[in-house]
Amino acid sequence: MRVQPEVLAAVERLAAAELRSVNAQVETLLREALAKRGALKGKDKG
């Protein structure tokens, strides 16, 4: 996935603050965004 350097840096900061890997942080952010839009179906939380 390609992202702007400032976006990646922000994700890295969040991941470090929440003791997650960058990959886990990206998945968390995607799940939150999808849930907010009502696009994430089911009860799967990871």
The residue extents of the domains of the chain are 5-37
Give the angle subtended at the CA of 30 by the CAs of 26 and 36, to the nearest 5°.
Answer: 145
Report the predicted TM-score, pTM, of the whole model to 2 decimal places: 0.80
Instruction: Let me know: does 27 contact 46? Beta carbons within 8 Å.
Output: yes
pLDDT at residue 3, rounded to an integer: 95
pLDDT by residue (tens digit) across 1-46? Answer: 899 999 999 999 999 999 999 999 999 999 999 999 999 886 655 5
Q: What's the rounded Cα separation, in Å, for the pair 22 and 44?
A: 20
Instruction: Let me know: does 42 contact 31? Beta carbons within 8 Å.
Output: no
